[in-house]
Amino acid sequence: MGNPLVLASGIWGTSGLLLVRAAKSGAGAVTSKSCSLQPREGHKNPTIVLLDGYVLNAVGLSNPGAKTEVEELAEAKKGCLKEGVPVIASIFARSVEEFAQAAQIVMEAKPDAIELNMSCPNVGSEGRMFACVSEDAAKVVVAVKNVCSVPVFAKLTPNVTDIVEVAKAVEEAGADGIVAINTMPGMLIDAKARRPILSNREGGLSGAALKPIALRAVYSVSREVEIPIIGTGGVMSGLDAVEMLMAGASAVGVGSAISYRKNALGEIRDELFAFMKENGYSKISGLKLQE
């Protein structure tokens, strides 16, 4: 990677062209929108609430299915290769077996890595959060590693009693990296209408409000595992990215910031490097907390 910023899943990753756009805009790596074995419509509108301090979404993991997604990933791979930017294919599933099947299909596009989205909070009763149980998360990693020849990253949820326990389990199962964290469950109500605002009633909270939770998760996990972490959640500026790296991340996911800043990836990258130059840091690895 030319820089430590990773386009987070589900933001611009809905098409190959958007992934290439992210690569050209300043991302060091890009992650596709999570796809499943079969097509999924997702939830009815309204699905997203964008406010000053946070985003609440319940898109519902809408996607065309892995077989169609392969075409978009192949287009992304071709364009991103010219930019020297790796492509991470994100997948989710209803069972361990479906994770492996979806992984086999997207591997046809030759992505540089696979992200296992085991932790999306807004799929309702149809979905299952494998990342909430260490044993379940480990089984998913093992199944996908058995059919993939590229690095596999486990995307974890903060909505557990002990995220470190889950992180250790996926590391022992063979995960090559961890994405921490996914969104937190949340809800908004329209008091005058006496109804929840989102059609799904509840959704995933992201944006600036998520940063303290993400920093704490990355800090805790990084001290107990040896594999690298893509620290994701609430990164809206270069200084936020610095904090995430100091917490123990090896790379930094950027998602909701794209909804607030016209050229979020490029600006955050430049702000990060400007901070390093102004404060005498010559390498990303030098951004460590004082113990």
pLDDT of 120 above 80: no
Reported pTM:
0.95
Q: How far is CA 214 from CA 32, 207, 229, 255, in A?
A: 21, 11, 12, 13
Tens-digit pLDDT profile for residues 78-95: 999 999 999 999 999 999
As a whole number of angstroms, the distance between CA 189 and CA 204 comes to 14
Question: Which band of pLDDT confidence, cut at 50, 70 and 90, is reported for residue 133?
Answer: very high
Q: Using the 8-state DSSP alphabet, how is residue 34 labeled?
A: P
* Residues that are catalytic: 120
198 in Cβ contact with 190 (< 8 Å): no
Backbone angles phi, psi at 5, to 5 degrees: -85, 135
Give the number of residues written for the chain. Answer: 291
Tens-digit pLDDT profile for residues 37-75: 999 998 899 999 999 999 999 998 899 999 999 999 999
Q: Give mean pLDDT, residues 226-240.
A: 98
% of the chain with per-residue pLDDT over 90? 91
Instruction: Spell out the residues 6+ positions from residue 132 whose beta carbon is closer than 8 angstroms to its own.
Output: 119, 157, 159, 160, 166
Fold adopted by 9-231: TIM Barrel (3.20.20)
As a whole number of angstroms, the distance between CA 283 and CA 272 comes to 11
Q: Give mean pLDDT, residues 176-194.
A: 96
Any idea which residue has 């958007």 for tokens?
18
pLDDT of 249 above 60: yes
pLDDT confidence of residue 129? 84
- What residues does each domain of the chain span? 9-231
As a whole number of angstroms, the distance between CA 253 and CA 139 comes to 25
